[in-house]
Chains A and B, each alone.
Chain A
């Protein structure tokens, strides 16, 4: 199967279509290209440009769709209609917003560090767009099948915290600095459970490659690794700074946080990067835990993938519509006291299981579906008690004088009782 994926890899296809000739292309059916021999470097550049434009445009289109979808879905959650003026069902609202943002005046605060201030949006958006390069959005439809795909994703998404800190610091705004500090605190705390939760998946698949991870999922890893999914999902929410971890731009506290002093397209780019991070995060979750583009036959793989991504995004929007925000101390204690322990439990259980199952090192084969189902059963048996225990540990204690009778909480006080606190 791995062979077919490489065969139809997008990069190879475009490159061979342009360059042709070379032995790798001939063996894949491209005997001739446009360019004569010796111009491979040009073919390489053209391919890179084409794919970059294709994927960045795809990502931006996805972001526009997400912004529209989020506004419409949030509106339905809130008994409203949502944007419905521009285009069918208001689908062009995001386009109108983007055009409006472009024509705004570009303001740089007097005391801002101009260099960092201008650099921060770039630092923010580039890594997010690079993530799209390693995600297979269909059979063989990916730019680069890196053999360190997962590691690449984990490493590169960390840059967003740096960018937020940079934007916050350089805009010389005290409210923004709070946002930057929170972003760094969140990054430091949630990077660890995020990376550790993927270790369980790594143990099963034995590869860091995204396509390899998909191939190993005869059973989707959300079933095999429920704890890993839970921790990764929550950590990803924190990394994307989505509700309930949206501390960096907690609207009711920090106004827009690090975005406070940005205007025009710099604001637009920072904003876009955040939404693109949501799309990228949903894509990673769909790839690693929902078996990516795999599905059954009549429906093409791309549709499967998009469907899974949309499902994950819907879940994220649902959470945003219904949950309040956590406080900074609660967010950090959730990372260190809750998620870290859950990943440790998951790691231990998965390590024991993989060691006990067939010795893969011997023949290098993947776990069969049957073995994955056995793992899933054990993992779910561990999932419920451990989540319950951690939940009990972290949950806030009810009031001490709380009794089972709700009436007890609000007695109609008597004269003596009412003023007992006021005696002195």
Chain B
């Protein structure tokens, strides 16, 4: 008697513990090996880009919060920069420094979430996740001091931020920044040298640099493939040309490299924030209402601004017809574009690698589906 085997097709998601939201795979398994995979998304589509056409320029900020809800400050920043470019607004220096601080803090929080959930997918039963979430919690508390909100901040305004930081903010920030390197060391001593994590992630879902460039990957994904592409350095926006920082690179391009790059980037965020605090001077946090009114009416034209989001190049393309709301708003969502190589990453790997590789992309369904 001969045993007949056949591939089995399974739907994983949208209801699944580790699809990072409502993502769905249709996977064909040959035994434990992945023979084919088809990503299906759109379960969290809320039409944010269309909704933006019905709102004033100031109101759209609240929509950007809800796109990438684990790094809403960065979404705010990308949108506000696009509006400033469209209207030709000169931002106030203190506002710019404050939003850089907020953005870098958000990057720390976002990377913490990425690392925590990647390890959750590895099956660590939440221990690294809770430690990562503890750091994120401190960041969110600081956001609460800055703007009263924790997740959906809407902190930024065209020309700066809507409110100056309270006097208690800087001491709290300072103590957080002095504690964070030890916390990262602690997390890293637990994780980076861990044999099981290394065995599970090394050499899995390798992305060669040329493939990564072809698919226009950005952010930690492409830096893990050894390409030094960081918009803060390549195309400085805000005052990133006035701060210096290292860009962690790893040549392997596998899951471990992506984890490792994020881990090191958090350390660089600390040095950036310290430089921002040093260079920040008292002054208005945004231009007066005479210069930048609430109801902006930008001249006819369009503007595209891309920033280095926590997940990659986060771009906003705005078209103005001279009215009070954008004629068209398009988002270049890094989570979405980084997903395009999912097939190349996953075919041939085992089922256990599926969600680990998926988690190493660090995507956010709110941003993928918008």
Binding site for B on A (CB under 8 A): 74, 77-80, 174-175, 177-178, 243-244, 246-247, 250-253, 255, 320-330, 395-396, 399, 401, 409-413, 417-419, 421-422, 424
Contact = CB atoms under 8 A, between A and B. Distances in A.
B354 interface: yes
A324 B123 contact: yes
Contacts of A412: 228, 246-247, 249
B352 A421 contact: no
Contacts of B10: 174-175
Contacts of B228: 412-413, 417-418
A79 B130 contact: yes
B32 A328 contact: yes
B256 to A, nearest CB: 8
A170 to B, nearest CB: 17
Interface stretch (B191-199, B269-277, B317-325): B191-199
A32 B79 CA distance: 92
A77 B226 CA distance: 36
Nearest to A79: B130
Interface string B112-144: 000000011111111100110010000000000
B127 A328 contact: no
A254 B196 CA distance: 20
Contacts of A417: 228
Given A174-B8, A328-B32, A419-B227, 4 more contacts: A80-B130, A244-B196, A253-B355, A421-B210
25 contacts: A78-B131, A79-B134, A246-B123, A251-B18, A253-B18, A253-B352, A253-B355, A320-B125, A322-B190, A324-B194, A325-B124, A326-B196, A327-B352, A328-B351, A396-B202, A399-B251, A409-B250, A410-B261, A411-B249, A412-B247, A413-B247, A413-B249, A421-B210, A421-B226, A421-B227
B249 to A, nearest CB: 5
Interface in B177-228: 190, 194-200, 202, 208-210, 213, 225-228
A393 to B, nearest CB: 13
Nearest to B198: A396
A322 B194 CA distance: 10
B46 interface: no
Contacts of A418: 226-229
B75 to A, nearest CB: 27
Given A244-B196, A326-B200, A422-B210, A410 B127 contact: no
B352 A410 contact: no
A395 B355 contact: no
A255 B16 contact: yes
B195 A325 contact: no
Contacts of B124: 322-325
B350 interface: yes
A329 B123 contact: no
Contacts, number: 128
Contacts of A419: 227
Q: A-B pairs with the 5 shortest C-beta distances?
A: A325-B123, A421-B209, A418-B228, A413-B228, A324-B122
A226 B12 CA distance: 43
B130 A78 contact: yes
A419 B209 CA distance: 9
Contacts of A178: 29, 32, 351
Nearest to B202: A396
Contacts of A413: 226, 228, 247, 249
Contacts of B248: 410
Given A79-B130, A328-B352, A412-B247, A321 B18 contact: no
B62 interface: no
A255 B200 contact: no
Contacts of A253: 18, 351-352, 354-355
B123 A250 contact: yes
B130 A244 contact: no
Interface in B224-246: 225-229, 246
Contacts of B198: 396
B264 interface: yes
B200 A79 contact: no
A209 B29 CA distance: 46
B47 interface: no
Contacts of A320: 125
A78 B195 contact: no
Nearest to A409: B250
A326 B195 CA distance: 10
B282 interface: no
B353 interface: yes
B263 to A, nearest CB: 10
A326 B353 CA distance: 10
Contact of A324 (B12, B32, B200, B355): B200
Q: Which one of B8, B122, B261 has the highest number of Cβ atoms from chain A below 10 Å of its Cβ?
A: B122
Contacts of B208: 421
Nearest to A77: B127
B365 interface: no
Interface string B41-85: 000000000000000000000000000000000000000000000
Contact of A78 (B123, B126, B226): B126
Contacts of B209: 421-422
Contacts of B131: 78-79
Contacts of A322: 124, 127, 190
Contacts of A175: 10, 12
Nearest to B32: A328
B17 interface: yes
Given A78-B130, A255-B17, A410 B125 contact: no
B368 interface: no
B181 to A, nearest CB: 14
B161 interface: no
A188 to B, nearest CB: 15
B123 A251 contact: yes
A321 B209 CA distance: 36
A74 B208 CA distance: 39
B200 A410 contact: no
B247 A321 contact: no
Contacts of A401: 251
Nearest to B19: A252
Given A250-B123, A421-B210, A330 B249 contact: no
B109 interface: no
B127 A424 contact: no
Contacts of B225: 421
A338 to B, nearest CB: 12
B252 interface: yes
B131 to A, nearest CB: 7
A328 B190 CA distance: 23
B18 A78 contact: no
Nearest to B225: A421
B122 A325 contact: yes
A327 B197 CA distance: 10
B352 A324 contact: no
Contacts of B202: 396, 399
